């Protein structure tokens, strides 16, 4: 039994790492515009599609992340961190000025819901870095399994939060509106903080090399 616990520990740590970075509870704030305006079936399809796209990308980076950046593109991963941080910094500033409605500009047309959910809300510098780390620590199939489990948990959590939002909205819409306004602006601070951290990590990595 002790052997089983030891052998499974890296696997569970990998699942927790990716799930924590995806953070569906914080992601639901990013996606408030979709949660508000999309019906259940369209939201479920968009989130599920975004999860599927993200899973494929994460598995790809887990298997060949270092090769992709350093050998194929011949760029530093630090550049990816800095650019991703700048993108999220712009999003954070929009949230601060406009609240959760700012995210509507990132949605695109209705046919691109899955792609919008995947990028930039699921696929980002942090989650890609975690995928590369998972691929370096686990064998192929355990790494793939850990990524799939984390993504399934994330999608199910987002669907649950959508159901909860719809349930509460029918009973007290005023509370929901106040929550959306406050949460949208607070999320700008959180997004901006993560953005600055990404930029600083990229600079530290660049200076280290």
Contact predicate 23/150, CB 8 Å: no
Instruction: Transcribe 92-152 into DSSP letters.
Output: HHHHHHHGGGGGGGGT-SGGGHHHHIIIIIISSHHHHHHHHHHHHHS-HHHHHHHHHHHHH
| pLDDT score recorded for residue 1 | 42
Range(s) of the domain holding residue 151: 26-208
Task: Report, as ranges of residue numbers, the positions in the chain whose pLDDT lies below 50.
Answer: 1-6, 107-108
Number of domains in the chain: 1
Give the pLDDT confidence of 133-168 residue by residue, as tens digits: 788 888 999 999 999 999 999 999 999 989 988 887
What's the pLDDT at 102? 54
pTM, entire model: 0.73
In a domain, 6, yes or no: no
């Amino acid at each position: 039994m002790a052997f089983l616990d030891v052998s499974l520990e890296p696997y569970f740590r990998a699942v927790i790492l990716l799930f924590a970075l995806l953070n569906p509870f914080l992601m639901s704030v990013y996606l408030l515009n979709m949660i508000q305006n999309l019906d259940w079936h369209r939201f479920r399809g968009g989130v599920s599609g975004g999860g599927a796209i993200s899973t494929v990308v994460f598995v790809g980076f887990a298997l060949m992340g270092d090769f992709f950046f350093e050998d194929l593109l011949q760029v530093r991963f630090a550049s990816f961190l800095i650019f991703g941080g700048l993108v999220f910094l712009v999003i954070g500033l929009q949230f601060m000025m406009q609240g959760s409605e700012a995210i509507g500009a990132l949605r695109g047309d209705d046919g691109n819901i899955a792609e919008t959910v995947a990028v930039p809300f699921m696929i980002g510098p942090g989650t890609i870095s975690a995928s590369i780390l998972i691929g370096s620590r686990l064998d192929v199939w355990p790494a793939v399994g850990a990524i799939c489990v984390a993504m399934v948990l994330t999608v199910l959590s987002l669907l649950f939060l959508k159901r909860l939002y719809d349930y509460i909205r029918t009973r007290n819409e005023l509370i929901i509106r106040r929550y959306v306004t406050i949460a949208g602006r607070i999320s700008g601070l959180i997004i901006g903080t993560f953005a600055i951290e990404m930029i600083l990590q990229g600079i530290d990595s660049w200076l280290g090399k």
